[in-house]
Amino acid sequence: MTIPTASRAIKALDDEALDLLFLGARTHNGWQDRAVPEALLRRAVEIAKMGPTSANSSPMRLVFVRSKEGKERLRPALSEGNLAKTMAAPVTAIVAYDLAFYELLPRLFPHAPDARSWFAGKEAAIAETAFRNGSLQGAYLILALRALGLDCGPMSGFDKKIVDEAFFAGTTLRANFLMNIGYGDPAKLFPRSPRLEFAEIARFA
Protein backbone atom coordinates (compact mmCIF):
# COMPACT_ATOMS: atom_id res chain seq x y z
CA MET A 1 0.00 0.00 0.00
CA THR A 2 1.31 3.43 -0.92
CA ILE A 3 1.34 5.84 1.99
CA PRO A 4 0.64 9.43 0.86
CA THR A 5 3.49 11.79 1.61
CA ALA A 6 2.97 15.18 3.18
CA SER A 7 3.73 16.87 -0.15
CA ARG A 8 1.02 14.87 -1.92
CA ALA A 9 -1.51 15.81 0.73
CA ILE A 10 -0.86 19.55 0.45
CA LYS A 11 -3.10 21.53 -1.87
CA ALA A 12 -2.46 25.05 -3.09
CA LEU A 13 -4.29 27.81 -1.26
CA ASP A 14 -7.11 29.52 -3.09
CA ASP A 15 -7.16 33.25 -3.84
CA GLU A 16 -9.23 34.02 -0.76
CA ALA A 17 -6.63 32.45 1.51
CA LEU A 18 -3.78 34.18 -0.31
CA ASP A 19 -5.56 37.52 0.14
CA LEU A 20 -5.96 36.82 3.86
CA LEU A 21 -2.30 35.98 4.35
CA PHE A 22 -0.53 38.20 1.81
CA LEU A 23 -2.24 40.02 -1.05
CA GLY A 24 -4.98 41.77 0.88
CA ALA A 25 -3.28 41.81 4.26
CA ARG A 26 -1.98 45.13 5.57
CA THR A 27 0.22 46.46 8.34
CA HIS A 28 -2.26 48.21 10.61
CA ASN A 29 -1.70 51.46 12.47
CA GLY A 30 -5.14 51.89 14.04
CA TRP A 31 -7.22 49.48 16.07
CA GLN A 32 -10.83 48.77 16.83
CA ASP A 33 -11.84 48.77 20.48
CA ARG A 34 -12.22 45.02 20.46
CA ALA A 35 -10.50 42.52 22.72
CA VAL A 36 -8.34 39.72 21.33
CA PRO A 37 -9.30 36.34 22.84
CA GLU A 38 -6.39 34.67 24.62
CA ALA A 39 -7.33 31.42 22.91
CA LEU A 40 -6.49 32.94 19.51
CA LEU A 41 -3.04 34.02 20.69
CA ARG A 42 -2.39 30.56 22.08
CA ARG A 43 -3.58 28.97 18.85
CA ALA A 44 -1.36 31.26 16.75
CA VAL A 45 1.69 30.22 18.76
CA GLU A 46 0.80 26.55 18.33
CA ILE A 47 0.62 27.08 14.56
CA ALA A 48 3.72 29.27 14.24
CA LYS A 49 5.94 26.91 16.21
CA MET A 50 5.53 24.29 13.48
CA GLY A 51 7.49 26.36 10.93
CA PRO A 52 11.05 25.24 10.18
CA THR A 53 14.10 26.48 12.06
CA SER A 54 17.74 25.44 11.88
CA ALA A 55 18.22 22.20 13.85
CA ASN A 56 14.71 22.83 15.21
CA SER A 57 16.37 25.46 17.39
CA SER A 58 13.07 27.31 18.00
CA PRO A 59 14.63 30.38 19.68
CA MET A 60 11.60 32.69 19.52
CA ARG A 61 10.17 33.78 22.85
CA LEU A 62 7.13 36.02 23.27
CA VAL A 63 5.59 38.40 25.73
CA PHE A 64 2.00 39.37 24.91
CA VAL A 65 1.62 42.77 26.55
CA ARG A 66 -2.08 43.32 27.29
CA SER A 67 -2.37 44.95 30.70
CA LYS A 68 -2.25 48.66 31.41
CA GLU A 69 0.77 48.06 33.65
CA GLY A 70 2.55 46.16 30.90
CA LYS A 71 1.90 48.90 28.35
CA GLU A 72 3.27 51.51 30.76
CA ARG A 73 6.47 49.48 31.12
CA LEU A 74 6.72 49.46 27.34
CA ARG A 75 5.92 53.16 26.88
CA PRO A 76 9.44 54.59 27.53
CA ALA A 77 10.93 52.38 24.83
CA LEU A 78 8.60 53.50 22.03
CA SER A 79 9.48 56.02 19.36
CA GLU A 80 7.13 58.98 18.96
CA GLY A 81 5.67 57.54 15.76
CA ASN A 82 4.83 54.21 17.38
CA LEU A 83 3.60 55.45 20.75
CA ALA A 84 -0.09 56.18 20.23
CA LYS A 85 -0.89 53.14 18.09
CA THR A 86 0.94 50.80 20.45
CA MET A 87 -0.77 52.11 23.55
CA ALA A 88 -4.12 51.75 21.76
CA ALA A 89 -3.53 48.23 20.44
CA PRO A 90 -5.31 45.44 22.33
CA VAL A 91 -2.09 43.41 22.40
CA THR A 92 1.55 44.19 21.71
CA ALA A 93 3.81 41.20 21.28
CA ILE A 94 7.46 41.50 22.17
CA VAL A 95 9.01 39.07 19.72
CA ALA A 96 12.28 38.02 21.31
CA TYR A 97 14.88 35.28 20.97
CA ASP A 98 16.69 33.17 23.53
CA LEU A 99 20.47 33.16 23.42
CA ALA A 100 20.40 29.93 25.44
CA PHE A 101 18.27 28.11 22.87
CA TYR A 102 20.97 25.48 22.40
CA GLU A 103 20.41 24.16 25.93
CA LEU A 104 17.13 22.70 24.70
CA LEU A 105 18.59 20.97 21.63
CA PRO A 106 18.87 17.57 23.35
CA ARG A 107 15.06 17.65 23.57
CA LEU A 108 14.29 19.50 20.35
CA PHE A 109 16.83 17.78 18.09
CA PRO A 110 17.19 14.34 19.69
CA HIS A 111 18.56 12.52 16.65
CA ALA A 112 21.79 14.54 17.03
CA PRO A 113 22.84 13.98 20.66
CA ASP A 114 25.82 16.33 20.28
CA ALA A 115 23.82 19.25 18.87
CA ARG A 116 24.35 21.37 21.98
CA SER A 117 28.10 21.29 21.38
CA TRP A 118 27.61 22.97 17.99
CA PHE A 119 26.85 26.19 19.86
CA ALA A 120 28.06 26.04 23.46
CA GLY A 121 30.78 28.63 23.99
CA LYS A 122 30.49 29.96 20.42
CA GLU A 123 29.01 33.41 20.86
CA ALA A 124 28.92 34.40 17.19
CA ALA A 125 27.14 31.20 16.14
CA ILE A 126 24.68 31.54 19.02
CA ALA A 127 23.82 35.16 18.19
CA GLU A 128 23.46 34.55 14.46
CA THR A 129 21.36 31.42 14.83
CA ALA A 130 19.12 32.90 17.51
CA PHE A 131 18.47 36.11 15.61
CA ARG A 132 17.96 34.51 12.19
CA ASN A 133 15.66 31.75 13.35
CA GLY A 134 13.85 33.94 15.85
CA SER A 135 13.10 36.34 12.99
CA LEU A 136 11.81 33.47 10.86
CA GLN A 137 9.52 32.40 13.66
CA GLY A 138 8.28 35.96 14.08
CA ALA A 139 7.26 35.94 10.41
CA TYR A 140 5.49 32.61 10.90
CA LEU A 141 3.62 34.20 13.79
CA ILE A 142 2.41 37.04 11.58
CA LEU A 143 0.99 34.54 9.10
CA ALA A 144 -0.58 32.45 11.85
CA LEU A 145 -2.28 35.49 13.36
CA ARG A 146 -3.59 36.58 9.97
CA ALA A 147 -4.83 33.06 9.26
CA LEU A 148 -6.88 33.24 12.45
CA GLY A 149 -8.52 36.52 11.43
CA LEU A 150 -6.33 38.93 13.37
CA ASP A 151 -4.46 41.95 12.06
CA CYS A 152 -0.83 42.78 12.79
CA GLY A 153 1.40 45.81 12.95
CA PRO A 154 5.02 44.62 13.21
CA MET A 155 7.52 47.39 13.82
CA SER A 156 10.96 48.52 14.77
CA GLY A 157 11.12 52.03 16.19
CA PHE A 158 11.79 51.19 19.82
CA ASP A 159 14.71 51.20 22.23
CA LYS A 160 15.79 47.59 22.50
CA LYS A 161 17.85 48.18 25.63
CA ILE A 162 14.87 49.61 27.50
CA VAL A 163 12.66 46.68 26.49
CA ASP A 164 15.30 44.15 27.50
CA GLU A 165 15.77 45.82 30.88
CA ALA A 166 12.02 46.12 31.50
CA PHE A 167 10.99 42.63 30.46
CA PHE A 168 14.07 40.38 30.25
CA ALA A 169 16.48 41.58 32.94
CA GLY A 170 18.64 38.75 34.26
CA THR A 171 17.66 36.38 31.44
CA THR A 172 19.14 35.21 28.14
CA LEU A 173 16.24 36.71 26.17
CA ARG A 174 16.68 39.66 23.82
CA ALA A 175 14.01 41.72 22.03
CA ASN A 176 13.89 41.44 18.24
CA PHE A 177 10.84 43.44 17.15
CA LEU A 178 7.44 44.55 18.42
CA MET A 179 4.09 43.67 16.89
CA ASN A 180 0.71 45.19 17.62
CA ILE A 181 -2.12 42.68 17.33
CA GLY A 182 -5.86 43.14 17.15
CA TYR A 183 -8.65 43.97 14.75
CA GLY A 184 -7.43 46.76 12.54
CA ASP A 185 -9.32 49.96 11.76
CA PRO A 186 -9.41 50.21 7.94
CA ALA A 187 -10.04 53.96 8.16
CA LYS A 188 -6.53 54.45 9.55
CA LEU A 189 -4.66 52.52 6.88
CA PHE A 190 -2.06 54.31 4.79
CA PRO A 191 -2.20 53.85 1.00
CA ARG A 192 -0.38 50.65 0.15
CA SER A 193 3.28 51.24 -0.63
CA PRO A 194 4.86 50.03 -3.89
CA ARG A 195 6.72 46.74 -4.09
CA LEU A 196 9.75 45.79 -6.16
CA GLU A 197 9.36 43.98 -9.48
CA PHE A 198 10.40 40.34 -9.81
CA ALA A 199 13.58 41.24 -11.71
CA GLU A 200 14.63 43.56 -8.91
CA ILE A 201 14.18 40.81 -6.33
CA ALA A 202 15.17 37.55 -7.96
CA ARG A 203 17.21 35.91 -10.68
CA PHE A 204 17.83 32.38 -11.88
CA ALA A 205 21.27 30.82 -11.84
Strand partners, 173: 98
Contact between 130 and 99 (Cβ < 8 Å)? yes
* SS3 of the chain: helix, strand, coil, percent, to 5: 50, 15, 35
Backbone angles phi, psi at 2, to 5 degrees: -85, 125
Name the pTM for this structure.
0.93
What CATH number is associated with residue 176?
3.40.109.10
pLDDT of residue 5: 52
Decide if 15 is inside a domain: no
Give the type of residue at 174. Answer: R
Number of domains in the chain: 1
Strand partners, 91: 181
User: Is the dihedral angle over the CA atoms 145, 147, 151, 156 positive or is it negative?
Assistant: positive
Cα separation, 58 vs 95, in Å, equals 13
User: Chain-wide mean pLDDT for the chain?
Assistant: 95
pLDDT of residue 2: 46
Decide if 49 is inside a domain: yes
Decide if 53 is inside a domain: yes
Rounded average pLDDT per 10-residue block, the chain, 205 residues:
54 95 96 97 98 98 98 98 97 98 98 96 98 98 98 98 98 98 95 97 98
Nearest Cα residue to 159 out of 183, 175, 170: 175
pLDDT of residue 9: 67
pLDDT of residue 3: 43
Torsion of CA 55, 97, 144, 184, to 10 degrees: -160
Strand partners, 151: 182
Decide if 174 is inside a domain: yes
Structural domain of 31: 26-183
Torsion of CA 69, 73, 74, 75, to 10 degrees: 90
Decide if 172 is inside a domain: yes
Decide if 114 is inside a domain: yes
pLDDT of residue 11: 86
What's the residue count for the chain?
A: 205
The answer for residues whose C-beta is within 8 angstroms of residue 123's C-beta and 6 or more apart is: none
Decide if 80 is inside a domain: yes
In tens, the pLDDT along 118-141 reads: 999 999 999 999 999 999 999 999
pLDDT of residue 6: 55
Decide if 13 is inside a domain: no
Contact between 123 and 99 (Cβ < 8 Å)? no
